[in-house]
Amino acid sequence: MAFTKTIAVARTYAQPRLHALPLATARHVSSRAKPPPGTVKIRRFVPEDAQPYYKPNGCLVTTPDVQQWFRRMGINHDHGDAFYLKPYLNLYDILRPMSLQVAYTAQHVINPFHVHYFTARGHALRFHMQSKYARKTVEEPLWIHCTLSQANPQAVVRTIAYRRIKARIFEGLRDLGYSQDGVKDGEDGAARRIRGTMILTGNDAMKLANGPSRELGKLIAGALHEHYSTPLHGRGPERTNTGEKQASLRGVRNNTKPSSFRKGK
């Protein structure tokens, strides 16, 4: 009688493909809005829960659908591309006593503490955060993120101080003639726009709370207008882009995958 042997061959589990999201996206970046020569980039801050998914060059390891969503919305994940503000009047004379650093990038960048929602690990609140940021791109031309470079137990003081500074910045922009959508109509009919992300980094919550927030907001608004506002030639392209983003926003609300969003032209 002949005997046969059966050998079980174990198949290796195929890991899902992951994509490294590029450091920056090119949408919504005007040539005039590029940081001027001689400015310095801020130090990249990577929260602990997102560190396993960050590459040394700043790329984020994520999934293809998240990568597609970032590119479609024109949103960047890495605020390390931001540059410190170019000197404007006596702005830095106020920033130093307040132990505050201010940086700006013409791109929309998510809050560094929200990066973990978009990593390859996945998160239950990812669709909620996508909906939130999709809405922000339509409703808020200027984003302001606030971080503290050192641990500080005065969290309440810091939060109140940052809210006050943010309010003063927007107040300064309104005084310069900027509307809620970030557009300033010129006397000669040439409109200008401020769009992007500002990062405020402080060291001492008490210094922030006691600083001259009104004067600071006025100077920051002046620096944005002087160095980083861009000409707005017509509203046609902007309307089209806004419509596409609103369609994407509806897709997120319906819990559809970003890869199923309607493709733009």
Average pLDDT taken over every residue of the chain = 78
- The count of residues in the chain is 265
Residue 32 in this model has a pLDDT that exceeds 60: no
Angle between helices 126-139 and 64-73 (to 10 degrees): 10
- Residue extents of the structural domains in the chain: 19-253
- Say what the pLDDT of residue 149 is: 66
- Smallest Cα–Cα separation from 81: which of 51, 112, 104, 115? 104
- The whole-number average pLDDT for the span 112-133 is 93
Q: Helix (H) and strand (E) counts for the chain?
A: 7, 11
SS3 18: coil
Instruction: List Cα–Cα distances, 255 to 16, 62, 178, 250, in angstroms.
Output: 21, 18, 35, 9
- The whole-number average pLDDT for the span 235-239 is 43
Pairing of strands 75-76, 108-109: parallel
Cα separation of 33 and 228, whole Å? 5
Whole-model pTM: value is 0.73
Residues 154-194 have pLDDT tens digits of 778 888 889 999 999 999 999 999 998 899 987 766 899 99
Residue 253 sits at the vertex; the CA angle it makes with 252 and 255, to the nearest 5 degrees, is 65
Q: For the residues of 90-131, what is the DSSP string, one character each?
A: THHHHHTTTTEEEEEESSEE--GGGGGGGSTT--TTHHHHHH
